[in-house]
Structure formats: C-alpha cells, structure tokens
Chains A and B, each alone.
Chain A
Amino acid sequence: MSDKLPIKAFFLTAAVLLAVSVMSCSHMLVSQPLEIKPPTADPSQPQAARMAEIRWTAAASGGIGSYSYDFLIRRAKEVRVVQSGPLPYWDWSPDEPGKYSVKAIVTDYRENTAESGWSPEYEIVPELMARTITADRPAPQAANMTGIKWSVSSSGGVGPHTYEFHLLKDKSDRVVQTGVSSVWDWKPDRAGLYRIRAVVRDTLGNTAESGWSPEYEIVPELLAEKITADRPAPQAANMTAIKWSVKSSGGIGTHTYEFHVLKGEEDVIMQTDVMPYWDWKPDRPGRYRIKAVVRDTMGNTTESGWSSEYEIVPELLVKMITADRPAPQAANMADIKWAVTAAGGVGKYIYEFHVLKDREDRTVQTGSSPVWIWKPDEAGFYKVRTVVRDALGNTADGKWSPEYEIVPELLVRGPSADKTPPQAANISTVRWTAEAAGGVGGRIYEFHLLKGEKEKIAQTDTSPYWDWEPDTTGAFRVKVVVLDSLGNRADSGWSPEYEIRKFIKSSLVAVLPVENLSGVKAPAKKIGQLIKRELRREGFNIIDNDVLEEFMLKHRVRYTGAIDLKTAESFQKEIGVEAVLITSIELYSEIYPPKISLISRLTSTGSRPAILWMDSVGLSGDDSPGILGLGLIEDPDKLLLDAIRALSADLDMDLWGAEAFSRPLRGIKRDQPSLIISAPESTERMERPSEKIKSGPPSLVVTSPDRTEKSSQGKKPNRDDAGTPLFGPKIFYRSPILSSDMKYRVAIMPFLNKSERKNAGDIMTLHFTEQLREIMNYDVIEPGIVRNNLLGFRIIMNEGISFENAGFIFSTLETDADLILSGTVLDYQDNISVAGAPKVDFSVLVIEKKSREIVWTSKSYRTGDEGVIFFDKGKINVAHSLASGMARGIAEMLLAD
C-alpha cells in the first residue's frame, strides 16, 4: 500500500502541471468555468484512528490563474476547515474514530470559487489496542507438569486481529506462536525465568503490543525416586514397623506424600502426609507392594512406582507352654519336660525359658530347643514362660503358665525295728517302721527283705509299718522304698543285719503233758518229766510245771495232743510262753524186746501257731542186736531214755543250728528255705513261683531250691532204681494240677481209723504232719487248729471227708488251706514180740481248694518184713518206721514231676 503512494503522487503532479499550462494559455484565449470535483482520499476508508495518514486530493479546473484550496471536514454536524492553501491535497491523521466527510473549495486567481461538494463518508475506526498478557496460572509453575494458558485481549483496528506470542528467556526472544488465537497454551519443559508478550496486528497491518509480562518462574519438574523400606522382606505381621521412605525433588512448594499399599488388586492409601516416610506396621500376612505419590503445592503429582513384592509372614506367636507331667511334682524326683510351640515369624527360633518363683524371674535356658528339661531341686510354686525370637529378632512373649507346685523331695529314713535282734522265726513279730516325708499325695511303702543275695518285697501298703513275722532263719536286711502317688521312689537303704533264729533258747517253752496214743498203758508222766529234764539239760527255758498246770486248769485244756489258736494266743499273752512242746506216745511196750515210738513237735504260740520243729523216733530193743546179741536192749527205761535223748538232741541240734546259723551246722534235719514267698491269699499260693518270677519285678527273687528238694538231707528216702520211693504207694492217682513248683498250705484231717489199732488215725495224721513238713513245698497247719475247726463245724467224718466238709475247712481263715489231706487207716499193727512184722495199710485222699476235686488218692500197704533178704536183715521192727516211710513216700510222690 505504501509502495503505491509515490506513483500516485507522480501522476498527480503531472496532471497539475498540465492543467496550469492549459490555463495560462486559455486566458489568453478563453477561460473555462472554474470547477472542482469532491476530494478523494488516499488510502480509502476505513482507517484506524492514530494509526494512518490520509491524503485528501481535490481536482479543480477552469478558472483563471492559480488556485487556492480550502479543505473542510465534517463530522456529524460539525464542519471545520482543516487546511487552506494552494495545496490541492490535505494530509489527515485522524485522532478520533468517527464518520467523516471532506469537501474542497477552490478559488482562482480571479477569486472565482468553486465548491466541490462533500465527499462520501470516511470512516475512522478506534485505534488498535492490545491489553496486558495474562497467564491462567500464577507463577511459579513446574516444568513438564502443567500447561499454562497465556491470553491477551485486543481492540480497535481494522478487521480481524492476529497474535504473535513472544517468549523471553535469558534475553533470547523467540516467537512461540502466531495465529488468530489470542491464547497460548504453554507447556514449559525447562526451569527458568520467563517473560511473555503478545503482538496484535489488524488487517491493515496496524500493530499493537501487550508489553512483556512480569517474570514467570518455571521451577524444575516434580520427581520422586524409587520407594525403599528400611527392613528387607520378609517381615512378620504385628511384629515390627517398616519405614518406607521416598525422595522427591522439584515441584512447587512443599511436597505431600501419599503412601499406597497394594495387596492383590486392592490399592489402599495408608498415609498422606508431608513426611516423606511411612512407618508401616503390617498386621496381616501376605504379599504387598508399596508406592508413594508425591504432590506439590500446585497439585502436581508424581509416583515412585510400585515396590517389588514385600512378604509379610504370620505374626510370631507362642502357644501356651505345657509340662509333660501334671503338678505337683516332687523336688529332685522328676524331670519335667516343658515344651512350647511357636508359629509365624521368620526363620529359626530361639527359645528363652523363664522361671518365676517368689517374683524373681530367671532365664533358665536359651537356645534353639523348644523343650526344657526341668529338674526342680527346691519346693515352691513356680511359673514358667517362654520368650521366642525369630531370625529377624522379632520377639513373642509367652504367657506365664499356671502355678506349678513343686513339693519337697520324697525322703525316707531307714526302717527301724521295735525289737532288737536276734528274734525267733515263727514266734516273734517285728514291727518295722519307716519315716517318710515329702512327695506328692499318698505314699506307698514297699518293705524289701534281703537275705543273702535274694531279695523280695515283703509288704506293699500305705501303712508305714510292717509287722514282720519271720518264718525262716538267717541274717536279714530290710529297706523301705517309698512311692508317692506319682511313682517317685525313695530308697531308705538297707538296714543293718537283723538276725532271725529258729528259736531263742532263752524263750519260754511249755512242755505239754504227753499224749498217749499207744492204746495201752504207758508212763506218760514219766516220759514228760524225762523230756523236761533233757531239754533243761540242753539249755532250754522250760516253764514251771505249776504255772503250766494253773494255765491249763484256767483254760480247761484237756487235750494235749495239739494246740488250738485260742490257747496258743493265751499261752503267749498270759504266761509268756513262746512255744509248746507236744509229745505223743505212739508205741510203748516193755515186753522183750522193748519198743517205744514217740512223736514230738515244737509249736509256736501267739496269733499264728506254726510247727517250729517236729521229729519222731521208733526204737525196738532188737534194732541192732550186734554180734552175739551184745547190742540188744532189754531195759525199757534205757530204750525210753535213748528215744527221749534222740529227740531232745535233734531238737537242740535243729534249733541250735538255726540259732548259730553263721557257724557250720553239725547236721541238718529239715531244709530251711533261704526265702519263700508266702502269698497272703491262698489262691496266690497256688500260683507257680516261676510265673511270679516272670511277671514280678526283677528284684523280686522267689526261689527256694532247697525247698523244692523233696528229700531232706537228714532223711534221705530209700528209692528204687527207677527213683520211686521204696515206701511209695503202688496204687495212686495224681492230678496234673499238682506241681512241684508250688507251695501248698496243707490241712491234714484226722485219719479215719478202721483198723484194730486204737488211735491209728491220729498216729497217721502225725506221721503225715511230720513228713509233709519235711518238704518245703508244704506248709503244714498245726493239727490243733484243724481239729478245732472240725469241732467248730461239728464235722464228724464217719466215712472220710466229703466235699461239703472240705468246703467248710477251706473257708476258714484260720486254716487258709490249699490242700486237705485225709485218709483211712485199715491196718496198723505192731508186733509186740520178736515174731511177726508190723503192718500198715491205709489210703490217702487229697482235695484241692480251687477245683474242689480229688488231686491225689493212693492205697498204701506195707509190712515190716518186705525188705528182709537174709536173717531179718532189713526188717522193720516197729510200725512207726513203716508208717513214717510210707507217709514220706506219698509226700514225695505227691509233687513228683
């Protein structure tokens, strides 16, 4: 547009010059009317106020001479002359918008005037203006975080505007956007101080600037580093706080941190705070991921990204500690195993056992073992607990156990006897007392008896007393083992040796009047006196005859062939007699050759009469005639004295041997067992000792080898080549129930006497009593007790014993028999003169308690001359020897294997 202006001016000038030349020529010739056309504007409308210079040109013709021009401008009704002069044009710079009209008046030299008329309206629009540029967000902002809208408003000018946004940083101005949009969306990517301006341009090229904005700060971008935990995974739930922290930079103002936990697909915001860390206390096991979202004050956010999986294992827990034994327990007696179970946590555990007593907490064991063997050594009330640590050091405290009582240690003091040793077997009762303390609950006292190397449990009871009724001789030791209710044992240790003798010679002995079973008149009183004399000579303490007679009178003791329980008790209690000597005359004959048979026994008194000793003798004057009959005895008194001395010597030897058991014996009559189990119940006695050994405790020794030996050393029976006793019965029945391994308590009934010999039944009873007693398998009941029972039950056995009678006898506690031996004597003959031979014929029947059946029957028949081979060699002269041997044979065969 500006390039066209010089060209127009040139043509305008040439036209003017041409017109002047024409006019100068014409006045000379004929002048033309003066005329003028309306002025024209250059440039054309519209134009902006204060933005353009407009040349109005007027073209006049005619007239004379030179022209002068007046330019008039009209706005609304206001007209004013804006220029007068020779210039045919007017350069106009409008200041105010509006609609204008221009006209020119030309005057020539001759003062001719011509008016052009008003030009068309010429519009002047308002000036182009650009206002201050503004951002939609206040500075500062963070790089790469947000878009900032810069906008500028403009007015005036002609036509539509265009906008040019300039960005200034570090004196470098660059156009960042040009266009019709008055808004610039700025996304700064670098930090720094910026200024922005806008240049507005209209269609005529008019420009207006907004001017530079104030400095606009762009801070660095908000960034967050990877989130980190202060503890490595795994960790245990509820056991620790894990500090998650994140580092951030950039952004505007202070940052806020939002910690997220992802478990599965669930994202939970756990903490929002200005602190860049989060103390996480996980309470549930699982696999987690954590992230942090950082936000600045402008709301810009950035994330740390999810962490790798972080495992939370179950919480370390300690279950209740338990003991393998219930309280209470005894100190020093038991090992109590405390065990604890832990779960959860990480890695291996360390267990710390604590014991609390009297408010004092002690650590008693630390280690990897979950078991603590506690050996409490002091009584009191305890509590136990466990502290468990896992590999990460997490600690779980177990609860205190309930109070656990430890009672004092079970102790027992050695048993003491109420009587000083020595004491007599089968007579004395020695009370052993044990003192025990401590332990749990009730106590059981086990009294052990030791003889030699053989030990047995003599009593197991809750009583601390044991009334020992020794029935064998020897040196014994006693100890007590106390068991409490938990089975704790306390051993007293063995007592000093306690000596039991068969009989104490100083004990008072009553010699009962001699019983005459011979069936004929015999000097019983004389024999009794001789016995007393011989016994006194041997050193026995024989009770005074007057005292004995008074006692017998008081108790109306008429029968002197045996002693019953009541009389035995009275003997001991009232006159202090420890044993009675009962002697029976089996045979007495003064006819040549004189013959005498005596059976004697010593029975203890007290509450349990027992046969201490028993022997018999049967002598005939012609037993040992020798050469020329020098050995014949014709004097019955001499024979009687020999018989009595034989008995008293045997009694003395037997009892003396027992009294001096530590010294070598001169001879042994009856085998004494080392130790014999004497079961309290008769049924138990029927058990096989071997079975007891198998089932009993190892320490229990129940053997009596000499007891099962069915032949005594003093009286070895004659046997045939097959080993059968020579005097054994030819006809017999033996039940397999009977066993040589057992011990039987035998009640021997008076034999039924069908022979012509008076008292033969009683005599056979005595023979069996003696012979069975010789064998230790049998415990023969004192015949007086059996007799008393028969009288008590009013049992009269006309034809032998019936099962009903046997039942009565078995039922009594006094006898407490396992076997009942009964029999019938059919013949019992003694030859009174030289001629003839004795004859014994009897049958035996044995009934067993449990089966109530016959376990033995036999028929025995022997004569004294059966063994005679040559000149009466081998002849038996008295039935006593025959019957004794026959009884012995049955006794042995009864338990033969």
Chain B
Amino acid sequence: MIKLDIMRMFFTAYLRVTHLRRFVLLFIFILSAVSCASSSTPFYSNPNMDFQSIRTAAVMPFQNLTREQLAADRVRDVFSNMLLSTSEIYVMPPGEVYRGILITGIANPVIPSPEEIIKLAAVIKVDVIITGTVKEYGEVRSGTSSANLISISLQMIEASTGKTIWSASTTRGGITLSDRLLGGGGEPMNDITEKAVRDIIEKILDLR
C-alpha cells in the first residue's frame, strides 16, 4: 500500500515537470525500483474468521529449508518475541509449546496434522497455532555481489478446527543495485529477519 502511494505521487510529479527533469525523475524511479529487491506475496485470510477473538497463540518450530542450521530457530525466536511485543496476542513460551508437543506426541512438529493441532491446543490452551517455513536464510551471491536474504512463509491454524485461517509469506533482503554498484554485502541478517517478521506481523495485525 505504501509503495502504491509513493508511485502515485511520483507519476503526479512526473507529469508536472519539464522534459529534462522528467528524465532525472525517471532515472530515480528505475533506480529505486531496482533497489527494492524484496517482495511479498498476497496472503490468505479466512473471511469468516474473527481474528480479533484470537488471544493466545503457540508458535511451532519452523521448518528449515535452508542450509543454515539455526535459521528456523532464529526466525521463530524473532517472530515469537515480535508478536508478543505487539501486546495483541499472548504467545506461549517455546518451552511450554515443547511440553505440549511431547505430551501430544506430535511426530513432526514443523508440519503438524489438524488432529495433532487440536490436541496440542487443548493441552497448552491456545486459540491458534502458528507454523512456519524458512525458505531462504543467509547470503546469496550473484557474480561478485553478495547480500543476505530471507524468505519465510507462515500459517495460522485455528486450534479448535485445525483449519488454516491465515497464511502469508515474505521475502526480504537480496542483492540490490547499490550492492551491485558499490558492494558491501547487504544488510545484516538480523536486520532483514526483523524486517521480514515485521512485515508478516503487520499483515496479522491488519486483520484485527
């Protein structure tokens, strides 16, 4: 939404200025468009779900599809803390979730079945279960340029039904034009992780 507004403002300004200035503005637009390597996919939300009724959540261990061993733990850690810091949803501590997993005997906690989710939610008493997948995490290279990249997707599953009520994904970081032109290795991994998680959480909060 913010990007659309910026583009609308840009074209309004573009139509009002002279040809030389229009060229300069076009260059700036292309440069900034190239630099924005991050992207986000449209997310799904169940229109029948009352997201405001969600009070408690359990964040399951994320599925790690990267080579970085701790990628899933790091993203989950950031996500849990950031979600709780909004004070909108109470997030169960990982130890409590782990206890629930042990009790319910979930074989693969990163992709629990609906039945397992219902059982788990009953044990640790949460409204929703959040699962996630870290698809990309770490440094990516393109020629001589390198930068950090993260790509994650999350699902929110209603505890009482085991149905997915919300899903979203985001990608942050990556090699930008400045990285290609000036080098530097991109933003720190922790920073883009926080940005990606913040992007996801904003989508959750928009529903409430």
Contact = CB atoms under 8 A, between A and B. Distances in A.
A754 B188 CA distance: 20
Interface string A836-866: 0000010101010000011001110101000
B77 A854 contact: no
A800 B99 CA distance: 10
Interface string B81-124: 11011010011011111110000000000000000000000000
A824 interface: yes
Contacts of B73: 754, 824, 826
A662 interface: no
Nearest to A797: B95
Interface string A731-766: 111000000000000000000001100000000000
B87 A824 contact: no
Contacts of A822: 95
B70 interface: yes
Given A733-B87, A826-B74, A805 B81 contact: no
Interface string B144-173: 000000000000000000000000000000
A799 B90 contact: no
B93 A845 contact: yes
Nearest to B87: A733
- In this complex, the member of A731, A804, A841, A853 whose beta carbon has the largest number of chain B beta carbons within 10 angstroms is A731
Contacts of B84: 733, 854, 857
B94 A799 contact: yes
B194 interface: yes
Contacts of A511: none
Contacts of B93: 800-803, 845, 847, 854, 857
- In this complex, the member of B85, B95, B96 whose beta carbon has the largest number of chain A beta carbons within 10 angstroms is B95
B81 A843 contact: yes
B81 A801 contact: no
A799 B97 contact: yes
A526 interface: no
B78 interface: yes
Contact of B81 (A731, A804, A853): A731
A803 B84 CA distance: 17
Given A731-B82, A732-B85, A733-B85, A859 B95 contact: no
Given A754-B70, A754-B73, A854-B90, A859 B96 contact: no
Interface in A120-141: none
Given A731-B78, A854-B90, A799 B98 contact: yes
B190 interface: yes
Contact of B95 (A730, A802, A826, A857): A802
B81 A824 contact: no
Given A826-B70, A826-B74, A800 B95 contact: yes
Interface residues of B, number: 24
Contacts of B81: 731-733, 843, 857-859
A798 interface: yes
A859 to B, nearest CB: 4
B77 A824 contact: yes
A731 B98 contact: no
Interface in A849-892: 853-854, 857-859, 861, 863
Contact of A802 (B77, B96, B194): B96
Contacts of A827: 70
Interface string A796-824: 01111111110000000000000000101
A804 B82 CA distance: 24
Contacts of A859: 77-78, 81-82
Interface string A720-735: 0000000000111100
B63 interface: no
A387 B170 CA distance: 101
A870 B188 CA distance: 20
Interface in A69-119: none
Contacts of B80: 843, 857
Contact of B190 (A843, A847, A861): A861
Contact of A799 (B87, B95, B190, B194): B95
A802 B99 contact: yes
Nearest to A847: B93
Contacts of B82: 731, 859
A807 to B, nearest CB: 11
B95 A801 contact: yes
- In this complex, the member of B73, B81, B84, B91 whose beta carbon has the largest number of chain A beta carbons within 10 angstroms is B81
A750 B75 CA distance: 22
A857 B85 contact: yes
Given A730-B194, A733-B84, A861-B190, A843 B77 contact: yes
A54 to B, nearest CB: 168
Contacts of B94: 799-800, 824
A731 to B, nearest CB: 5
Contacts of A755: 70
B129 to A, nearest CB: 15
Contacts of B194: 730-731
A694 to B, nearest CB: 30
Contacts of A857: 80-81, 84-85, 91, 93
Contacts of B96: 802-804
A822 B98 CA distance: 15
B121 to A, nearest CB: 15
Contacts of A798: 98
B117 to A, nearest CB: 18
A841 B74 CA distance: 9
A213 B190 CA distance: 163
29 contacts: A730-B194, A731-B194, A733-B84, A754-B70, A754-B73, A755-B70, A797-B95, A799-B61, A799-B94, A800-B93, A800-B94, A801-B93, A802-B95, A803-B96, A804-B99, A805-B95, A822-B95, A841-B190, A843-B80, A845-B93, A854-B93, A857-B81, A857-B91, A857-B93, A858-B81, A859-B77, A859-B81, A859-B82, A863-B188
Given A800-B93, A857-B84, 8 more contacts: A731-B194, A754-B73, A800-B94, A841-B74, A843-B81, A845-B93, A859-B77, A859-B78
Question: Top 4 A-B pairs ranked by shortest CB distance?
Answer: A799-B98, A800-B95, A859-B81, A802-B95
